[in-house]
Each structure stands twice: as structure tokens, then as C-alpha cells.
Structure 1
Amino acid sequence: MPCYAIDGVIPVVDPSAFVHPTAVLIGDVRIGPECYVGPNASLRGDFGQIVLERGANLQDNCVMHGFPGSPTVVEQNGHIGHGAVLHSCIVRHDALVGMNAVVMDEAEVGVEAIVAANSFVRAGMRVAPRTLVAGTPAKEIRALSDDEVMWKKEGTEAYHDLTRRCLATLVEVQPLTAVETDRPTPKAPGVLPLVATRKTS
């Protein structure tokens, strides 16, 4: 992975974490155990501290950055969807930030809360625990159901499994020129979109 020191500060990655080779880490970045960092993610600890706690995942094309003295933190089992931007904010444990959402300076996403895809969480906003917020700017929509909290937990567990799969089997290869007749399917049991879980419950 491209990994850079700045002012003598070197990123730290726990050996049980997976960081994709195309992700970029700069300066005061701290990636804890069992974390997943996806392709093309950018973690810039060149001004403020960047922290992923145990089991957090930061998916493809996400950006984490922040101001001096104002860390950007994703707590344990935080779940950050594709293309999200986090800046000098805190995502509390077991919370989810949806795809392409933006969470601004000194905002806090509460425990087990969900920020809907494409939402804009303004600077200083406090998202209450187990609450869904959505929109630009984000507004509280309602309390989350137990089923929704469980769906989020299962999705994060799927990323814990993906971390292990990547550490064990991900290798760079040349593409084939044709599809094999006995082509295997990636193993991701239980990975379902929320709309699918609603249909089965």
C-alpha cells in the first residue's frame, strides 16, 4: 500500500487488519485490529489524527481527513460505506455512514445510528444513538428498529469475514481471456441488502 511518513510520523496498521494495496495512508493514521480498508481509500493524517478502532471498515473511495487537534475517529465496528467523506468527526461504535455521505467537523454519529446514503451531516451535529438521519442537510427521520440494527451488525460481520478472506486469499493476478465453465462464486453467505431482509421478515 502507498504509505507515507510526514514530519517523522508513520502510519500504524495492526497485523490483523487488511488495507488494500491501492489505499493511501499518510502520517498519523492508526488502524486497529480486524479493520478493513478498501480500494482507493485515502487516510490523510497530515493535519489531524485518523483512527479506525477494532473491527471498523472503511470502504472503496472513502476519505478521512481533519484539522489539527480534532481527530477523525471511527469507533469499534463502525461501518463506512463506499465513497463517504469523514472530516474531524466521530462515528461511535456500531454506527453506519452510508454511501457517498459526508460527515463534517465536530459532528458525532451516535452509537448504532445510521446516516443514510448521500446525506450531509453538518458541522457540530449530534446524531442520537439508534437513530436514522437522512438528507442534505441531514435531519432525524426516526428511531431504528431492532431488525435494522441487526442488519447493520450482520453487514459489519460480513466485512470482518472479508478482512479474513482478503488476508488469506487476495492476490494480484492477470485477467483470464475467457470465463471458465466451472467458475466459482465468491463466498459471502448472509450478505443481503436491507430491502431484501424486509421482504423475508
Structure 2
Amino acid sequence: MTCYSLDGLTPVVHPTAYVHPTAVLIGDVIIGPGCYVGPLASLRGDFGRIVLEEGANIQDTCVMHGFPDSDTVVERNGHIGHGAVLHGCHIGEDVLVGMNAVVMDGARIGARSFVSATAFVKAGFSCDPQSLVMGAPAQVKRQLSDQEVAWKQAGTREYQLLAQRCLESLVACEPLAEVESDRRRIADRGLRPKGSSSQ
């Protein structure tokens, strides 16, 4: 990873977390146990604090940032989809934020909620636990079922396992010139896309 200390504050990464080498961590960043930080993610703790709690993941090209003295937090088992932007907001426990969603300053997303792909969550927004949040500007559309939350939890467990897999076996390499005749596949882990709140 690319890691920078700023004003005497050095990012903290728990030994069981995985941060991709192309991710950038700056200043007051705290990454907890079992977290996954994907390629090209940018976590900039140059004004406020950035926190990923235990088991959270933030995927490829995501950005976490905030205004001075703010905390941008993803609570335990939070799941942040590709390209999402979190700015000075609080993402509750077990929340899914979909691809390319934007969550603005002071917003608080209740536990076990989904923020749909491409949603724009305005500053100061809040929602109850287990809400489906959609649109631009985002609104609560309905409550989520326990089955939908269970589906999200299964996806998050896969990212927690991915952190372990990357720590154990991800290595830089040169590409092959052609496909091997007996090329195996990465095991199908049983996940299938479902609904509009894509991971």
C-alpha cells in the first residue's frame, strides 16, 4: 500500500486486515481487524479521521474523506461497493453501500440498511435501521426483509474471506502469454447478483 504520515499521525492497519498495494492511506486512518481495502481506494485522513471497523470492506476506487474535525466511519461489517464516495458520514453496522453511491457530510445510515447503487445521500440525511435508501436525492423506499439482510451478510463474509485469501496468496506476477490447456477456475463460492443494491 501507499501509506503517508501527516502532521505526526500515521495510518493504523490491523495485522489481519488486507490493504491492496495500490490503495492510498494518508494521516489519521484506522483500519480494524479483518477489513478489506481494494485496489485504488483512497482513504484521506488529512482533515478528519477515517475509520473502518472490524470486518468492514471498501472496494476498488472508493474514496473516504471528510471536513476538518469530522469522523468518516464504516462500522463493523460495513460493505462499501466499487466506486462509492463517503464524505464525513457515518455508515452503521452491517450496512451495504452500492456501487458509485455518494454519502455526504453528517449523513447517518442506520444499521443493516442498503444504500442503492448510484444513490446520492444528501448532507445530514438519516434513516432507521434496515432501510432501503434509493435515488438522487436519496429517500427511504421501504424496510428490508431479514432475507435481504442475510444475503448482504453472506456477501460481506466473502470479502472477509477475501482479505484472508489475499494475505495468504496474492502476489505480484507477470501475465502468461496464453491460456493453459488445463486452466482451473477460482471456486464458485455460491454468490449470485440480486436486486438493485449491487455489491
Q: TM-score range by the shorter chain?
A: over 0.9
Q: Structure 2: how far apart are the matches of 1:191 and 1:169? A: 21
Report the secondary structure of 2:162's partner residue: helix
Runs of 5+ unmatched residues, structure 1: 196-201
Alignment of 1:112-191 (within 5 A): 112-191=112-191
Which ranges in structure 2 are unaligned for 5 or more consecutive residues?
none
Per the TM alignment, residue 193 of structure 1 is displaced from its structure 2 partner at its CA by 1.0
In structure 2, distance between residues paired with 1:133 and 1:8: 38
Higher relative contact order (CA 8 A, sep 6+): 2
Q: What is the CA deviation profile of residues 137-157 of structure 1, one whole-angstrom value per residue up to 9, with x for unaligned ones?
A: 001111101111011000000
Secondary structure in structure 2 of the residue aligned to 1:127: coil
Which position in structure 2 is the counterpart of 1:20? 20
The alpha carbon displacement at 1:188 in A equals 4.4
What TM-score, normalized by structure 2, do the two folds share? Answer: 0.96
| Alpha-carbon distance in 2 for matches of 1:194, 1:30 | 32
Partner-residue secondary structure (3-state), 1:60? coil
Cα separation, 2, equivalents of 1:58 and 1:28: 17
Please tell me whether residue 107 in structure 1 is matched to residue 110 in structure 2: no
Residue type at the aligned position of 2:106: E
- Looking at structure 2, the residues matched to 159 and 187 of structure 1 have their Cα atoms a distance apart, in angstroms, of 14
Distance in 1 between the 2:71 and 2:12 partners? Answer: 15
Q: Is the 8 A contact 1:158 1:188 kept in 2?
A: no
Q: Cα distance 1:87–1:193, how it changes in 2: closer, same or farther (>3 A)?
A: same
Provide the secondary structure at the position in 2 that maps to 1:153: helix
Conserved? CA contact 1:10–1:26, under 8 Å: yes
Q: Tell me the percent identity.
A: 62
Q: Which residue does 1:34 correspond to in 2?
A: 34
CA contact (8 A) 2:13 2:31 kept: yes
2:113 and 2:49 map into 1 onto residues whose CA distance is 23
How far has the Cα of 1:190 moved from its partner?
1.9
1:44 is paired with a residue whose SS is strand
Matched-pair contact (CA < 8 Å) for 2:85–2:103: yes
Give the Cα separation in 1 of the matches to 2:18 and 2:178. 30
How many angstroms apart in 2 are the aligned matches of 1:54 and 1:188?
Answer: 25
Provide the residue aligned with 1:68 in structure 2. 68
Root mean square deviation, CA, Å = 0.8
Offset at 1:17? 0.1
Distance in 2 (CA, whole Å) between partners of 1:47 and 1:78 is 22
SS in 2 for 1:194: coil
- Letter of the structure 2 residue corresponding to residue 37 of structure 1: V
Aligned amino acid, residue 27 of structure 1: G
Shift of residue 187, structure 1, vs aligned partner = 2.5
